[in-house]
Amino acid sequence: MMSRKNVVFSFMILFSLVYAVWVGTQYGVCKIENGRFDKPIISPPVVTREKHNKNYNILLVGYLRGGTTFTGNILGLRRGNFYIYEPLHAQNTWGYYKPGHTCSIKEESCIKSNGTDALILATLRGLFNCDSNTLKRSLLIWQVLKGKGYDGGLGNQEWIKYVPECHGEERNCVENFVNYCMNSSAVVSKIPRISLGLASELLNTEPNLKIIHLLRDPRGIMQSRNVLKWTPPPGGSISLCNKMTDDYATSDIIRETHPGRLLTIFYEDLVTLPTETVRRMYEFAGFDFDKSEQIRLGELTGVNTNNMLTSSNKQTSLQVAMGWRTRINQNFLDAIDPGCTNLYKLLGYPPLNGPEELQNSSIPLRMPTIKDSSI
């Protein structure tokens, strides 16, 4: 008999295939709820946004629990930007898309998927060009709230102040939100459910788009997922580290084929040197890093530009980022290492052998590599 994880993954793949076939025959995408097809959730985008100013649209490619929410808030919640939070979530909660394949996040398993690439790319083009139909059918209200910086639920009336355009009404809130896209300075979206290789195909047709690739120590990612009971090792860690390795190799190709369109950022650099790293991202995107942005960054990281604490009542982003070292279980770590050891060396992450090294704060989160100067 098939194991439960194989049954779940097989269902996910079947869903992706049906998803692609439906688009080809019905010009839309259906999701499955309670064992039946529901109404189409995505239509072919009508490209309406033509924007060629100094502010580039930004696609943030990363990994679940890899610092994408923190980084997405920095980039997406900047004044004047329109932030789209994880638009592929409904299509593939526990998988991701790479050229010609749909892959599992829970284990190293992929299946060929004809037509899915074109569907995903068309959807993303519509999003970055502010096609209202694509936006409305790709987003749920919780994604709107996330895209406005709110991390709670609708039961708390605090959500109202985050989306004043909704006037306190859940009904039509998504529609009211997407109306602001056309007048934004730039569109930013964080999408952990796509490979860098597939995302880079957008660069061929979207001249105003740039990609930021965010990397983080896979042990920190896995520990964060473990708290939520997500993607346990060894299957989850092998899938993660293989995807990170593939993406990192692909980044070299993109820099050759599309110079100046890709920036690689390490989460560890963002939390240890926030001002310098954010300045680098903003310069890449054409965003101004003015006084108000410096203040906002201090609120997000917990330290100001002079590396002084902005509040004694909350952890800094660096403290949060280092926390996994003291909390990770040795048996859990032993299950991760075999599938990720080569990646540690490639990306500059220290091996951390045993509890003494894990808790030794003098060992940095990451050590620079020879390749750093080229990315």
Q: Is the pLDDT of residue 5 over 80?
A: no
- Tell whether 341 is covered by a domain: yes
Sheet holding 81-85, edge to edge: 81-85, 186-190, 57-61, 209-215, 262-266
pLDDT of residue 18: 47
- Tell whether 20 is covered by a domain: no
- pLDDT classification of 307: cutoffs 50, 70, 90: low
Give the range of the structural domain holding residue 213, as residue numbers without chain letter: 57-86+105-112+185-374
Cis peptide before 234 (omega within 30 of 0): yes
Average pLDDT, the chain: 87
- Tell whether 336 is covered by a domain: yes
The dihedral through the CA atoms of 372, 238, 59, 86 has a sign that is: negative
- pLDDT classification of 16: cutoffs 50, 70, 90: low
pLDDT digits (tens, 9 = 90+) for 61-73: 999 999 999 999 9
The number of folded domains in the chain is 1
Cα angle 257, 261, 262 (rounded to 5 degrees) comes to 95
- Tell whether 97 is covered by a domain: no
Distances (CA, A) of 9 to 79, 239, 246, 277: 40, 13, 21, 38
- Tell whether 221 is covered by a domain: yes
Q: Which residue, among 140, 142, 185, 183, has the nearest Cα to 162 in the 3D structure?
A: 142
Q: Where are the beta strands (DSSP E) in 107-206?
A: 110-112, 186-190
- Tell whether 320 is covered by a domain: yes
How far is 349 from 96, CA to CA, in rounded Å?
25
pLDDT digits (tens, 9 = 90+) for 219-243: 999 999 999 999 999 999 999 999 9
- Tell whether 7 is covered by a domain: no
Mean pLDDT confidence for 41-65: 70
pLDDT digits (tens, 9 = 90+) for 321-356: 889 999 999 999 999 999 999 999 999 999 999 999
- Tell whether 5 is covered by a domain: no
pLDDT digits (tens, 9 = 90+) for 85-94: 999 999 999 9
pLDDT digits (tens, 9 = 90+) for 149-187: 999 989 899 999 999 989 999 999 999 999 999 999 999
Q: Is the pLDDT of residue 108 over 50?
A: yes
Contacting residues for 9 by C-beta, under 8 A, at least 6 apart: 104, 106, 107, 109
Which CATH number do you get for residue 217? 3.40.50.300
pTM of this prediction? 0.86
In one-letter notation, the amino acid at residue 118 is A
- Residue 34 vs residue 330, higher pLDDT: 330
Q: State the maximum Cα–Cα separation within the chain, in Å, rounded to a whole number.
A: 61
Q: Give me the DSSP letters along 284-328.
A: HHT----HHHHHHHHHHHSB-TTS-BS-SSS--HHHHHHHHHHH-
